[in-house]
């Protein structure tokens, strides 16, 4: 869902963003989201259930009063984006 909060911590700092748009590719099972971060940077992030690179940052999304790791809750994140 547009407006969902997302957070991550990178080597350069802690960032919270808001999802401004998204595309779900049902054939490849990937989600591509556009995010505006608290430092006013805008990025595109892509998530795939079967691919997780441990050298990248860990992302969380906010739902029902708590933060959830995207890599461990891929289908929950997908349902949140779909508004279900």
Q: Alpha-carbon distance 8 to 17, whole Å?
A: 9
Instruction: Give the per-residue pLDDT at 52.
Output: 62
**pTM of the predicted protein model:** 0.85
The sheet with strand 59-63 has its strands ordered as 42-48, 30-37, 13-25, 5-10, 59-63, 66-69
Q: Is the dihedral of CA 51, 55, 57, 60 positive or negative?
A: positive
pLDDT in tens, 22-71: 999 999 889 999 999 999 999 999 998 876 655 678 899 999 999 999 98
CB of 18 within 8 A of CB of 3? yes
Instruction: Give the per-residue pLDDT at 50.
Output: 74
Q: What is the mean pLDDT of residues 1-18?
A: 91
């Amino acid at each position: 869902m547009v407006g969902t909060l997302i957070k991550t911590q990178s080597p350069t700092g802690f960032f919270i963003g808001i999802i401004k748009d998204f595309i779900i590719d049902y054939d490849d099972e990937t989600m591509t989201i556009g995010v505006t971060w608290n430092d006013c940077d805008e990025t595109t992030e892509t998530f795939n259930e079967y691919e997780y690179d441990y050298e990248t940052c860990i992302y969380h999304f906010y739902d029902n009063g708590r933060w959830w790791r995207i890599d461990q809750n891929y289908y929950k994140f997908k349902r949140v984006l779909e508004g279900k």
